[in-house]
Every structure is written in structure tokens, then in C-alpha cells.
Amino acid sequence: MPLRSFTTADLTGLSSALDFGDRILQHRAAAEVDDRFHDKPAKAAVLLSDDGRLTPLGVAVVYPAERRPGNSLPPWAMQFVLKKGEHRRLCELVSAVLPSEGCEVWVRPEDEGIVEEIQRCWPAAYNCRRLHLMTIDLPVAIEPLPSRPLDPNDPADLAAVVRVNNAAFGDHPDQSGMTQDSVLVKLAGPGHTAEGVRLAEIDGRINGFCWTQIHHRRGLGEISVIGLHPDVHGRGLGAAMTAAGLAWLHRQGLHQAILYVESANLTATRSYARLGFTVTHDDVSWMIPGSADD
Ligand SMILES: CC(C)(COP(=O)(O)OP(=O)(O)OC[C@H]1O[C@@H](n2cnc3c(N)ncnc32)[C@H](O)[C@@H]1OP(=O)(O)O)[C@@H](O)C(=O)NCCC(=O)NCCS
């Protein structure tokens, strides 16, 4: 079968396989394109043409998704690229790495051919979430909230981030249920630093934070998480809290930042728009059932 599977250790070898002029993974190893793939126990498959030349036609990468305990979504997410005109090979590519628990598969909504293929191959698949990728040039004009870095050796700081995060995110599928341990694990990830986690004192206690990440290879900053305690919501502080993270990214020499936000989160999207963020594109997730659901 013209299909081969990879493990994380092989990910750097994907660069030549990905060199077929498509969008997100173009000319690069998956780990270079998206730091989420770095050092994670991911599975990847490359689909090759069966015309004797074994040209790469598509790549699918599966990575663990952070979920709050008890969440009903599967613990895996997948991104893939298929060469234009090869939509009909989708089932083959995705099935090669589909975990038995199923998977949340991310696609661009304008890829109608892909969406039709998903519905044809997996009739039980359903449309789950829509994220905006928003982009902004730095610096921004809005005055940041005064902030200081997280001290990862201070249990009170860790507790403050956990308290604000869990109050702010309720039952959000990815972001809720943070613990002091999960703060430290996230902090150890690529592009994360304690200095890049900006804490803000509001009404006499730490009531807000903005967690930034730097994609060094792309020279790009990311607002990874922004959270305000519900006690201080609705006072127009969201933009200023985000501005604290953006100011820190700009001090690191960066001139552009991105973030992902659920399109339904109107409070957040309005606050980002006020800062000057614009939507670059949307990503839509489809839940594809695995064999465990049979
Ligand atoms: C998102 C968050 C940081 C925004 O901060 P905030 O101080 O509560 O929000 P603001 O008071 O600045 O309001 C932001 C905008 O949303 C608007 N807004 C508030 N509630 C709204 C609603 N239910 N529907 C539509 N717009 C709403 C406000 O009018 C304001 O618009 P404007 O800037 O055009 O005046 C904060 O609500 C939060 O921490 N939420 C939980 C965590 C979260 O969702 N983080 C972002 C994930 S990416």
C-alpha cells in the first residue's frame, strides 16, 4: 500500500514529503510548522502516489489534545494536508492514523470537497467547533495592564494562575481543569517561559493573566491563554490584559502575534478586535468516530 506511518522521531523527515506546495505544512517539518507537534507522542502518515513514482500526496499528523478530565471529546486531534485534487484519498490517509478512540480533525471550512469526503467516509462524524485564527501587528496602541512575570518556584503564583484559569474557563473542553502540575508541564513546552506568563493584580489580588508563547522558528508571538477572574469581567480589562502579553512579546523583538479563539466567544473576539486583531482564517473541527465507538 502506498502509505507509510511515522512516529514523532521521524517528524523531521517529513520536510521533503511535505514539499508539494500546499498551505500550512509547506516545505517544512511538522514540528517546525507547529510547536504543538514538538516532542509529543504523535503519529503521522504520508500518503504516496501509486503511479510508481511514490510522490507525496498528503500528510496527516495526530497529536494529544489537552482535555479537562471527564470531557467527552476524544484525547486526540489531527491536522492534515492533501494535495489539491486528491480529496478522494482522504479516507485512506486519515484512517491510517485514526486512533481507536476517534479523533477531532481540523479542516478549513472553505475546503468543501474535504468536508463532503468526511461526511461520505464517516456518516457519524459531526461538526464540533470553529476557531478563528486572529493576527495582529505589534506594537498595539492600547495601554497594557501593569503586569509581572510568573514565579514558577512560588506556590502562591501557581495557585493564582490555577484559580483564575479555572474560574474563567468553567467547563471549556481544553482550557479548564488546570492544576499546578499542568502549569509546570505547559511551561516546559517549546516557546513557553515564566517571563512570558504575565500576571496582573486587580482589586488587590492576582485576578488576571496572559500566557504568551514564542514560535522562534517563525519569529511569531502567540497569546496562548488570556484569562480574567469573573469577579473583574465586564470592565473593559480584557483588551488591556491581552495588551500586557503583546507588549512583552514586542519587547522580545517580535512584530506579529496570533491567537486562536472560539468564534462563539463574543466577549473575547470583541476585546481582540478592539486591540486590532483581525481574523486570518477559520479552522473547523469534525469529530470522527474511531473503532472503539463501533
Ligand atoms: C475574554 C475576557 C478576557 C474579556 O475580558 P472582559 O474584561 O470580561 O471583557 P470586556 O469588558 O473587555 O468586554 C469585551 C467586549 O465584549 C463585549 N461583550 C461582553 N459580553 C458580551 C456578550 N455576551 N455578547 C457580545 N459582546 C459582549 C463588551 O461589550 C466589549 O465590547 P467592546 O470592546 O466593543 O466594548 C474575559 O471575559 C475572560 O477572561 N473570559 C473567560 C476566559 C476566556 O474566554 N478567554 C479568552 C479565550 S481565547
CATH number where 270 lies: 3.40.630.30
| Contact by Cβ (8 Å): 99, 80 | no
Rg (C-alpha) for the chain, rounded Å, is: 20
Q: Same domain, yes or no, for 114 and 184?
A: no
Q: Which residue's C-alpha comes closest to atom 34 of ligand 1?
A: 270
Q: What is the pLDDT of residues 189-243, one digit of tens each?
A: 889 999 999 999 999 999 999 999 998 878 899 999 999 999 999 999 999 999 9
Check pocket membership of 164 for ligand 1, CB cut-off 6 A. Answer: no
Assess if residue 229 is contained within a domain: yes
What is the structure's pLDDT at 79? 83
Cα(138) to centroid of ligand 1, in Å? 21
If one counts the domains in the chain, the total is 2
Cα(238) to centroid of ligand 1, in Å? 6
What is the structure's pLDDT at 58? 80
Check pocket membership of 271 for ligand 1, CB cut-off 6 A. Answer: yes
- Domain range holding 67? 3-128+285-293
Q: Same domain, yes or no, for 115 and 174?
A: no
Cα(250) to centroid of ligand 1, in Å? 23
Q: Same domain, yes or no, for 48 and 162?
A: no
CATH number where 92 lies: 3.40.630
Q: Given pLDDT bands bounded at 50, 70 and 90, which one contains residue 71?
A: confident
Assess if residue 135 is contained within a domain: no
Assess if residue 134 is contained within a domain: no
Assess if residue 264 is contained within a domain: yes
Averaged pLDDT, 99-122: 93
| Mean pLDDT over each residue of the chain, to the nearest integer | 84
Residue 28 has pLDDT above 50, yes or no: no
Q: Which of 77, 218, 226, 212 is nearest to 164 (CA)?
A: 226
Check pocket membership of 234 for ligand 1, CB cut-off 6 A. Answer: yes
Tell which wins on pLDDT, 4 or 114. Answer: 114
Cα(267) to centroid of ligand 1, in Å? 3
Phi-psi region of 170 (alpha: psi -120 to 50; beta: other; left: phi over 0): left
Q: Same domain, yes or no, for 267 and 289?
A: no
Assess if residue 206 is contained within a domain: yes
Averaged pLDDT, 126-153: 96
Averaged pLDDT, 159-187: 92
Three-class HEC string of 195-206 = CCEEEEEECCEE
Beta bridge partners of 104: 77, 287
Tell which wins on pLDDT, 258 or 13. Answer: 258
What is the structure's pLDDT at 39? 55
Q: Which atom of ligand 1 is nearest to the CA of 237?
A: 7
Beta bridge partners of 60: 45, 80
Q: Same domain, yes or no, for 48 and 87?
A: yes
- Alpha carbon 26 to its chain centroid, in Å, reads 18
| Contact by Cβ (8 Å): 263, 124 | no
Q: Same domain, yes or no, for 123 and 241?
A: no
Q: Given pLDDT bands bounded at 50, 70 and 90, which one contains residue 5?
A: very low
Residue 7 has pLDDT above 50, yes or no: no
- Looking at the chain, the whole-number percentage of residues with pLDDT higher than 70 is 84
Q: Same domain, yes or no, for 251 and 181?
A: yes
Check pocket membership of 267 for ligand 1, CB cut-off 6 A. Answer: yes
Q: Same domain, yes or no, for 168 and 289?
A: no
Pocket residue to mutate for ligand 1, from 143, 172, 267, most atoms within 8 A of Cβ: 267
Q: Which residue's C-alpha comes closest to atom 1 of ligand 1?
A: 268
Q: Same domain, yes or no, for 145 and 262?
A: yes
Pocket residue to mutate for ligand 1, from 133, 225, 271, 283, most atoms within 8 A of Cβ: 271
What is the structure's pLDDT at 176? 85
Render the burial of 127-159: b for 16+ CB within 10 Å, e for the rest. eebebbebbbebebebebbebeebebeeeebbe
Q: Same domain, yes or no, for 154 and 229?
A: yes
What is the structure's pLDDT at 65? 84
Q: Which atom of ligand 1 is nearest to the CA of 262?
A: 48
- Is residue 189 classed exposed, middle or buried when 0-12, 13-18 and 19+ CB atoms within 10 A define those classes? middle
What is the structure's pLDDT at 149? 98
> Percent helix, strand, coil in the chain (nearest 5)?
30, 30, 35
What is the structure's pLDDT at 290? 87
Cα(271) to centroid of ligand 1, in Å? 6
Predicted TM-score (pTM) of the model is 0.83
Assess if residue 16 is contained within a domain: yes
Assess if residue 55 is contained within a domain: yes
Cα(122) to centroid of ligand 1, in Å? 36
Q: Given pLDDT bands bounded at 50, 70 and 90, which one contains residue 42?
A: low
Check pocket membership of 79 for ligand 1, CB cut-off 6 A. Answer: no
Averaged pLDDT, 28-46: 56
Q: Same domain, yes or no, for 105 and 186?
A: no
Assess if residue 271 is contained within a domain: yes
Check pocket membership of 172 for ligand 1, CB cut-off 6 A. Answer: no
What is the structure's pLDDT at 35? 53
Check pocket membership of 218 for ligand 1, CB cut-off 6 A. Answer: no
Residue 16 has pLDDT above 50, yes or no: no
Q: Same domain, yes or no, for 79 and 46?
A: yes
* Phi, psi angle pair for 171, to nearest 5°: -110, 30
Q: What is the pLDDT of residues 54-65, one digit of tens each?
A: 677 887 888 788
Averaged pLDDT, 86-110: 90
Averaged pLDDT, 170-193: 89
Q: Angle, to 10 degrees, between the axis of helix 112-121 and the axis of helix 90-97?
A: 60
Query: Which of 4-18, 184-198, 235-249 is least confident?
Result: 4-18
